[in-house]
Amino acid sequence: MATNLSEGQKAPAFSGKDQNGNKVSLADFKGKKIALYFYPEDDTPLCTAQACQFRDHHPDFTKIKAVVLGISPDSVASHSAFVGKHALPFTLLADVRGRDGAPTTCTAFGAWAEKNMYGNKVVGMLRTTYVIDPKGRVARRWDRVKTPGHAAAVLGAVRSLHAGDNLVVGGKVAAKRVAPSRQKTRTQGGHPGYSGVLATKGKKTASRTVAAKAKVGRTRVRGKGA
């Protein structure tokens, strides 16, 4: 299975049991925006801080109809205790280890791989986060996540996706298309932005002084013949 998922690719299908022992699959969230984060272990300092950030921002994710999912190799019982202790309002999935000892979903998303720990190369969890769009494609990816402020950054990306200005096209993030305005700005003497008088350059227009004099002359003639 793929371990090098990039933005624009289809997210691998996955399923697992949540903190209540219920089976949950990616297909259950078809048509929704998903913040999917992989973390090493329940109830450890950094993982707790990360989970509590997502907890605190959860109402904001809910407002834009986005789903938050957390995945780690911990058991259903461990997830249940973690959720209860910190009042986490979102789903945590237990990733089952395969015959090789590697958690299946974490491996598929590149969150289980070789890393350097205290100068030694080991295979384990890499803190990784994805935003998956309503069509099941990877819209954003964060590797080797730094916990402080991370949930807010993910929320910002989901909001952009919700607004339509962070769409992935052909593996590239494309800006939202905005139709150009047809409204013309009034100018004076070629200076854009002035909204008082229309430009008269190139047009034959009598000055106000000449027009005023002509009017006064007509008035005097009429008065004389009366």
47 is catalytic: yes
Tell me the pLDDT of the chain averaged across its residues: 80
pLDDT surpassing 80 at residue 203: no
Examine the domain organization and report whether 143 and 219 are in the same domain: no
Residue 26 structural domain = 15-174
In a domain, 181, yes or no: no
In a domain, 2, yes or no: no
Candidate from 15-19, 63-67, 117-121 with smallest mean pLDDT? 117-121
Q: What is the pLDDT of residues 19-30, one digit of tens each?
A: 999 999 999 999
* Greater pLDDT, 78 or 200: 78
In a domain, 59, yes or no: yes
* Greater pLDDT, 112 or 217: 112
Using the CB atoms, write b or e for 7-34: b if 16+ within 10 Å.
Answer: bbeebbebebbbbeeeebebeebeeebb
pLDDT surpassing 50 at residue 61: yes
In a domain, 7, yes or no: no
Q: What pLDDT was estimated at residue 65?
A: 94
In a domain, 133, yes or no: yes
Examine the domain organization and report whether 167 and 191 are in the same domain: no
Candidate from 93-107, 123-137, 177-191 with smallest mean pLDDT? 177-191
Q: What is the pLDDT of residues 122-172, one digit of tens each?
A: 889 999 999 999 999 999 999 999 999 999 999 999 999 999 854 454 445
Catalytic residue among 11, 47, 154, 167: 47
